[in-house]
Amino acid sequence: MTFLREWASLFGRACEYGFKSRGLIATALCLGTVASSVTPSSAAEFTYRGWEGFQIPIDEGVQGCRMSKSIQEDAHFIVQTDSDGSFLLGVYRKSWQLDPKMEIRGAISFDNDPPVPLNGFVPKAGIILLRSEANGLLRAAFKGSRILKMTFEGTSVQFDLTGSSRAVELLDQCTQLASRIAQQEQESEAAEAMVGASPAPSAVPAPELGELRQDMLYRDARRYLLEAGWQALYVLPDANDSPSDQEIRNEFGFPELASCSGTGMGFCAFGYKDAYGRELRLTTRGGTDFILHAWEVLEKTTSAQEENRIVFSGDQIVIGHNGEKVRLSERLPASELRIRFSGYNVQVTRGEDCLVCAFVGGPYGSFEIDYDESATTVTGISSEDANATDLHGNSFGKPLGQAVGRNAICDFGDRTTCDSPTIQGLAYIVAEEDGCALSYEEAARLTEIPDCARIGGFRLWAVE
């Protein structure tokens, strides 16, 4: 990470759920003001096509975020947004020794437009920011232009803005989250004083969970989450399950139920994940009435190697840390596919092993897309690349039984695949290895998975 990481002094006070050997302990509930908090150190940070963004350190007294992109060996272009709506542009150079009290005079111009004079300031040694009273106009010009020229104190720089519009959207999301984090910090002392009290309901839902509310029925919350793209974390039955947990899963059709307390208010815990590996934990009260009580989103902390993968969920893939997506049933003509993956090798073929299919290969691996006859709608996505993985970290070459259990629903078609029991819609391609074949029995519903079986790829198909 660039110098931005050095600025990071984020805080996070989030109570944690307890864990059994697998699953959540439902009685270990978070306090209401932090039950829905997002881990700040990972949630506010983002990277996109060379841009790197992070929350502004608290000691600067500004609620907002900055993003930077290298323009020279020791210089970075800076964009900053604040919670008050400010939109600022500037430059960072590590070698600069600037007085924070300096007043800067400069100018900017977009494309072939005449320069507009602006005043600036030094928020931190090495950084110069120019500001305008017309924040909306400056933002619109930035997102709609291709070239930016900036001059100040005898220095002139030029910057290519191609692809920067999406980066500004990510920066705005970061700033909104920074404001949320600041609000939670202000409430933290009151929350800490409540430690030991009975669990309180979630007060501030995560941004993408705006439809959730305390006291709604879990069945309604579940429907909303699945439609929003969250994947239920199905619990595979084993000997450590309590009989009551197994009965509740079967009776009410909630295979993602982790555990129920069985005492007091009857708290139960449920788990979900999304395509980015974020985990959502929910608790309900009222026993089998399943009334939503609290929820929490945990950001996944990954290494650089883990970020540079093709991640399969139940209806889409997310490619690399830039987060490009392909979703089942989306309208994505081959011509637009080449634009979305402009830095990749994209090859479209017709009438071979598919109606229309496309091979996409790039820095994070390769995958294939199947289209309908018109070559506009995605009907299937698959990958047999070593960089492919699912939401749970089951990746190419790992034991198949680790992903599907000892027995699974398998299809013996052109390639043998076995359905994921925890990610609806996902099937694992079974690696073809000598001496390790799955036994096909027509009358059997489930296929026994031998220890030697390995994951050879991943496949998604749209349901007709």
Residue-wise pLDDT tens digits, 7-41: 222 222 223 333 232 232 222 223 222 222 222 33
Query: Do 205-298 and 302-464 show the same overall fold?
Result: no
List CB contacts of 401: < 8 A, sequence separation 6 or more. 449, 450, 451, 453
Total number of residues shown for the chain? 464
- 352 confidence band (pLDDT: 50, 70, 90): low
- Helix, strand, or coil here: 180? helix
The torsion region of residue 435 among left (phi > 0), alpha (psi -120 to 50) and beta comes to left
Residue-wise pLDDT tens digits, 123-160: 887 888 888 877 777 888 888 888 989 888 777 888 88
pLDDT of residue 301: 52
Q: Which token pair is 344?
A: 């990749």
How many Å separate Cα 106 from the centre of its chain? 38
Residue-wise pLDDT tens digits, 258-312: 877 654 357 788 888 876 667 888 888 877 788 888 888 876 655 444 567 899 9
Q: Do the Cβ atoms of 132 and 120 come closer than 8 Å?
A: no
The percent of residues above 90 in pLDDT, for the chain, comes to: 12
pLDDT of residue 207: 45
Question: Across the strands, what pairs with 434?
Answer: none
Question: Across the strands, what pairs with 271?
Answer: 281
Closest CA to 285 of 221, 336, 235, 233: 221
**Across 37-51, average pLDDT:** 54
In the predicted model, is pLDDT for residue 372 greater than 60?
Answer: yes
Q: Which token pair is 191?
A: 């929350």
- Helix, strand, or coil here: 188? helix
**Across 227-233, average pLDDT:** 79
So what CATH class is 3-13+40-168? mainly beta
**Across 358-363, average pLDDT:** 88
Q: Do the Cβ atoms of 204 and 183 come closer than 8 Å?
A: yes
In the predicted model, is pLDDT for residue 106 greater than 60?
Answer: yes
User: Domain coordinates of the chain in residue numbers?
Assistant: 3-13+40-168, 205-298, 302-464
**Tokens 């509930």 label which residue?**
29
Greater model confidence, 445 or 3: 445
Residue 348 to residue 339: CA distance in whole angstroms: 13
Closest CA to 2 of 41, 43, 47: 47
**Tokens 């939670």 label which residue?**
184
pLDDT of residue 184: 57
Degrees, nearest 5: CA angle 447-450-452: 145
pLDDT of residue 338: 84
Is the torsion defined by CA of 109, 115, 117, 120 positive or negative? positive
What is the pLDDT of the chain when averaged over all its residues?
Answer: 75
Residue 65 to residue 43: CA distance in whole angstroms: 12
Residue-wise pLDDT tens digits, 376-418: 999 999 999 988 999 888 898 899 988 888 888 899 888 899 9
Question: Across the strands, what pairs with 310?
Answer: 319, 388
pLDDT of residue 218: 92
First to last CA, the chain: 44
Least confident of 12-26, 82-96, 229-243, 409-423: 12-26
Indicate the pairing of strand 310-312 with strand 388-390. Answer: parallel
- Helix, strand, or coil here: 66? strand
Q: What is the CATH number of domain 205-298?
A: 3.30.1450
Residue 331 to residue 26: CA distance in whole angstroms: 41
**Across 45-52, average pLDDT:** 77
pLDDT of residue 23: 32
Residue 109 to residue 75: CA distance in whole angstroms: 19
CATH topology of domain 302-464: protein yfey like fold (2.60.460)
Residue 196 to residue 151: CA distance in whole angstroms: 58
Greater model confidence, 249 or 456: 456
pLDDT of residue 237: 55
Residue 39 to residue 41: CA distance in whole angstroms: 6
Residue 12 to residue 194: CA distance in whole angstroms: 17
pLDDT of residue 164: 80
Residue-wise pLDDT tens digits, 59-71: 777 888 898 888 8
